[in-house]
Structure 1
Amino acid sequence: MTTANPSVDAAEAAWLAALTAPSGDATAALLHKEFVAIHGPTGLIQDRETFLAGLEGRPPTLEATTLQTTRREFTDTVIVSSLQQLSIPFVPDAPPFVVQAAVTRVWVRHDEGWLLGHLQMSRRFPPG
């Protein structure tokens, strides 16, 4: 693993913060115009606009963390893979449900900094 790039670290932190933000504006600011999201195991592939539209109407994420992060850095691209854990209140007045996914985020250097060009998520069952 290479030395962490502070601006990619900031982009990763902004991504986690955006997951818990009340609107999709913070997420939109992080996405490259050519962004693609792949949701496994369903195989759903979304472009930027479709991904952002899908954020509306979903239950809010109360907490987002990453675990077991690996990173590969290239000149203008950084690939970050991790387990992502989200706490989501799907049922009112019940404890939030914990969702885990194996996630890969591909950050691309852009004039505005690092933007997310590709996101691949595959849900998994939490251990235990």
Structure 2
Amino acid sequence: MHDIQNQDDLYLLVDEFYKKLLADDAISYIFTDVVKIHIEEHLPILVTFWSQAILGTGGYTRNLTQIHLDINAKEHLTPELFKIWLGHFYQTVDEHFKGEKAEQIKTQALSIATIMQIKIAQEKDK
């Protein structure tokens, strides 16, 4: 098993990860009913995000926090949903990759999930 090395690796990771999310009834409704993502359009955006975060390629210009706050305004993103998201993410990374970048992307995912939950809680307290 090799480490994450390029955008093709990230595409595999994100594609397999979303297959898990969309197959899990406990979280899939966020993507199918609330956000109504078009997976073919969404995957390249996610690859660009993770490529910037892990490989330093740049190119991601969206406001990740605001996107999640907007989703939360439609449907509360609970700590349980973040736990499910992280579980599927970790599992997908571990099934396909091993190494420094694989560990880095899992740490980054945990940081993102933590920050999003803090921002959502702050919004609720306003």
Higher-RCO chain (CA-CA 8 Å, sequence separation at least 6): 2
- TM (norm. structure 2) is 0.30
Higher strand share: 1
- TM (norm. structure 1) is 0.29
Higher helix share: 2
